[in-house]
Amino acid sequence: MTSHHAPSHTSHELSPATRRAIFLLSLGTFASMAVQRICDPMLPELSRVFNVPISEAAQVISMFAIVYGLMQLFYGPVGDRWGKYRVVILATLGCSVGCVLSALSGNLEFLVASRVGTALAAAAVIPISLAWVGDTVHYQQRQETLARVGLGTMLGITAGQLFGGLLTDTLGWRWAFVLMAVVFSAVSFLLWRHEGHLETAPHPGHAPAGFFKQLQQVASDVWARTLLSVALLEGASIFGLLAITASHLHHTHGMSLTLAGTTTALFGLGGMAYMASAKIAIRRLGEAGLARFGGIGVGSSFVVIAFSPWWPLAIPACFVAGFSFAMFHNTMQAKATQMVPTARATGVTLFAGFLFLGQSLGVLSLAQLMTHFSSAYVMGAVATFVVGLGLFFSHAVAQRNATQADHA
């Protein structure tokens, strides 16, 4: 057997153990995203079962997102200090416990509390996995590798929406949480078994600076501020739209929760299609192009979903929205892994924190707006904003890359 000491210039220089770790981490990101989205199609049923308005039932999503966002500030330094891979193992185990408690909930308050508990653990999985990839994989290959981990995330959006609706309509909403508990336990076990096969955990090569020093560093950097602001607005607008799509289709077109959830789940399938073709898209369009066409695609798709009188148009629209979102978001993730290279987990978790703070604000605001205005107009207005956000971020990326090229 020959050992590869010299880095090759192909995209296959990752060791088999690293590749398997990336696959297992993507299973973790799959479960983390699925448990986040599983309540979206349940809202009408939870509102009926617990006899509360939809805006109150939406706490199972918004409270999850708020806690998820706040916990990022905690997990960044923890991941940098105690090892990113190990933190993900413990986090997936914690999610399993949270899902068991959710399944046993007797009232909405207990369900919201169980969701908060799940969010406490789930918050670590995606950002710490991305930071692990940032430490392990060279920047030239990083966007492709992040797309591979992102495949799990997008599949998780699909599975969450799909099984959330399907199990709520058939066996009952509790079974959706039972399924997630089993998935998390399995993932945690597989990650733990593989830990011994990993090369020594990668270290940035310098001790991370104090957390507040890192925050200062980020706050004083114009590019970091831009990236975090876009993450906040992206979370509020796109995830807000995603959270109300199933309810919009259910109420506007009288679709069953299974059909509404399945249609919305195509968002994740579209994202997976992008992740599968990411290599070509990244080379063809470049980072600025991906951001521009991603924003335009997401916005246009949600305008179609909002105003189409014919519901089957929502099927291709959800797929295109997911594909476009992945173009936009994957570019943001690659930039986020370079935001604070000296303490990558802190940088990536800060990015995720802003994303999910945005998401919680978006879900709360949009659920509130839908009690005053028709869901079509709410969705249409937010979708138009997304197009503008894509154009702005594309311009910012192009300027950033040009500046870096000048300094190189």
Delineate the domains of the chain, giving CATH numbers in brackets. Answer: 16-199+211-402 (1.20.1250.20)
**Separation between Cα atoms, residue 226 and residue 219, nearest integer Å:** 10
378 within 8 A of 302, measured Cβ to Cβ: no
Tokens standing for residue 260: 């509404």
246 within 8 A of 261, measured Cβ to Cβ: yes
Torsion angle in degrees (nearest 10) through CA of 297, 44, 38, 376: 10
**Separation between Cα atoms, residue 366 and residue 375, nearest integer Å:** 9
Output b/e per residue, 292-316; b: 16+ Cβ within 10 A. Answer: bbbbbbbbbbbbbbbeeeebeebee
Task: For helices 314-337 and 222-234, give the axis angle rounded to 10 degrees.
Answer: 160
Q: What is the pLDDT of residue 300?
A: 96
**Separation between Cα atoms, residue 87 and residue 131, nearest integer Å:** 12
**Sign for the pseudo-dihedral over CA of 256, 165, 330, 240:** positive
What's the whole-model pTM score?
0.76
Question: Which amino acid appears at position 82 of this protein?
Answer: W
Q: What is the pLDDT of residue 209?
A: 57
Tokens standing for residue 145: 């590798």
**Separation between Cα atoms, residue 8 and residue 168, nearest integer Å:** 50
The residue to which tokens 């153990």 are assigned: 17
pLDDT (tens digit, 0 to 9) for every residue of the chain, 408 residues total? Answer: 333 333 333 444 778 888 899 899 999 999 999 999 899 888 888 888 888 888 888 888 888 888 887 887 788 778 777 888 899 999 999 999 999 999 998 888 999 999 999 999 999 998 889 888 888 888 777 878 888 887 888 788 778 888 888 898 889 899 999 999 999 999 999 999 988 777 654 444 444 556 677 677 777 788 888 999 999 999 999 988 888 888 888 888 888 877 887 888 788 889 889 988 888 888 888 889 999 999 999 999 999 999 988 888 999 999 999 999 999 998 998 888 888 777 777 778 888 888 878 887 888 888 888 788 888 898 899 999 999 999 999 999 999 888 877 776
The residue to which tokens 């090892």 are assigned: 83
**Separation between Cα atoms, residue 81 and residue 93, nearest integer Å:** 20
Q: What is the pLDDT of residue 136?
A: 83
Tokens standing for residue 199: 């090369």
